[in-house]
Structure 1
């Protein structure tokens, strides 16, 4: 099977039309159309339904996406299998992640990986929910997921046909952020009890619902439930809304410096609000590049403790790296 035909197929699937794929790849539309017809003849199935000027994959097309991506990744990194020196590691690494983890420790780890393997291109794919990421893993759109843990919150009891491996990376802590000059808060650096939060409605972002659920549950336990002041689609807008006095919010600890520059009143909470996060992937399906990244990540967690990793003395322990999950409900093994 011609690898270029598979690449054309994936481009059409990703862009939703032959015209868009041709423009992205810099080739003529008839070239891609002919390649798709040839691939369909080889496989004996139709890969797309033609709808207006666009296309959508048939069931056979959906089934080809995952194997096709794995084939492209494997062949693109074939030279690396001969020479595994760091400067020769090449390829593309597709990581799907929810917005709340795309900050702090995870970004630092990506930067360190890039320093060691500068020829690897990392593509981050933003997803709205953890289950969406698992579907991308199943279909081959991403090799690695960076999600909240435990994995059971994403799997939701559903059996999966892939063996899922989990590499815990650490945790994020969320601080309360109120408008400048908000009265009734303890001095900077001191924690504010959740039950004693100022009577200010919240600015919330439903994106990354696992975190929003944790915050809502913690507030409900102390009787602090109120309609939100604003519901935003863009996480980056939270601080501006709070700075204008529209409401308060909860921010990742890695964002505190930027929040302080805007004059926001930021305090840790009692009890603390934290979420574990880590990498989820199918170890049986990893490309050479993805395997190098997981090995690097495991070493990075061990060698670079700090924000986002285990903090001694706080009674929170990150499980050992390499926990594997499979079957209904993602039971650990």
Structure 2
């Protein structure tokens, strides 16, 4: 198995097909296609189903994504050439984060890291509620995961970084007795636009409402987190949103304010110390202790 063929495979996965993958790698599409065929021959398995002019990952292909990422990271760690002229790491860093945790501070952390280490390409993948973080890290899908805490898994290290705070977000023309902060035990009688039950954010919010003795009814369940603010602005209901998202909804006309008592959720990073690449270690070194 040739390492460049593994890189061809990952580029094709990450760019959703031959054309953009070949452009990203600086190779021709025939060369890319031939490399993938050779990789499939070496592995003895079909990694993609060719559907018309498109590609769909096969079961074997899906299973190979994590190990392929680990192979590339191991090569980076083994080759001293993967540093720039200043001795800084380069290559790529694979991170998984839930949509709720990736907002605000986490985005700034990645931006700060990229400023210090411009030779490292960061891949930020979505961490879905059904994903098992320990398996994603051990199987090589990512080096580092951002998640709400608490989290525990044997052999993994967890480092707390901060808290997300959830604010009340109300439709622009709602006629209510406005207070700041808004008492959690005396919320407006407006139905709620919320996320699916498996969302960690919804779990945190519902526990806080239950503790305050507040009862709410749902007007809409929205899987696309980015659409919640638009639903509120259109008057479909009120919501509880992470502060960064709430401030975006306010730009569209929603009224927002903190809650009393506040609803907060701690978040942090999870990683396997033994599997970190130079880029992964550098990223963790940039985080506040």
**TM value normalised by structure 2:** 0.81
2:218 aligned counterpart, secondary structure? coil
Mapped pair 1:293 → 2:258: no
Q: Which residue is 1:169 aligned to? A: 161
Other-structure match for 2:120: 120
Partner Cα separation in structure 1 for residue 83 and residue 126 of structure 2: 33
Q: Deviations over 1:284-324 (max 9, x none)?
A: 11111111101111xxx24xxxxxxxxxxxxxxxxxxxxxx
Query: Does the 8 A contact of 1:130 with 1:148 survive in 2?
Result: no
Instruction: After superposition, give the CA deviation of every residue in 1:33-76 in whole Å (9 maximum; x if it has no partner).
Output: 65455445555x435485766565556x6665434322223434
Structure 1 CA distance for aligned equivalents of residues 198 and 263 of structure 2: 15
Contact 1:201 1:226 in 2 (8 A): yes
Question: For 1:236 and 1:10, how far apart are their aligned partners in 2?
Answer: 28
Deviation at 1:270, TM superposition (A): 2.6
Structure 2: runs of 5+ lacking an equivalent: none
Is 257-266 or 191-200 further displaced after alignment?
Answer: 257-266
1:74, 1:288 within 8 Å by CA — same for their partners in 2? no
Higher alpha-carbon deviation: 273-282 or 215-224: 215-224
Instruction: String of CA shifts for 1:184-237, please: whole Å, max 9, x gaps.
Output: 232x3xx22222001111111228711101111222334433331122232222
Give the aligned partner of residue 220 of structure 1. Answer: 210
* CA distance 1:273–1:111, change in 2 (3 Å): same
Alignment of 1:15-34 (within 5 A): 20-21=17-18, 24-26=21-23, 31-32=31-32, 34=34
Answer yes or no: is 1:277 the counterpart of 2:241. Answer: no
- Equivalents in 1 of 2:106, 2:202: separation in Å? 20
Q: Give me the CA root mean square deviation.
A: 3.2
Query: Could you tell me whether the CA contact under 8 Å between 1:100 and 1:208 is conserved in 2?
Result: no
Shift of 1:273: 0.9
**Residues of 2 paired with 1:237 and 1:63: CA distance?**
32
Q: 2:201 aligns with which of 193, 203, 211?
A: 211
Where does residue 231 of structure 1 map in the other structure?
221
Divergent runs of 4+, >6 A: none
Q: Which residue of 1 aligns with 2:230?
A: 240
Distance (whole Å) between structure 2 residues aligned to residue 196 and residue 231 of structure 1: 22
Indicate the residue corresponding to 1:309 in structure 2: none
Question: Cα distance 1:200–1:296, how it changes in 2: closer, same or farther (>3 A)?
Answer: same
SS of 1:128's equivalent in the other structure is coil
Residue 89 of structure 1: how far off its partner (Å): 2.7
Q: Is residue 175–residue 269 contact of structure 1 (8 Å, CA) maintained in 2?
A: yes
1:125-153 CA distances to partner (integer Å, 9 max, x unpaired)? 1233263554433332222111111114x
Q: Deviations over 1:139-188 (max 9, x none)?
A: 32222111111114xx6xxxx6xx212121111111112223542232x3
Residue 46 of structure 1 corresponds to 45
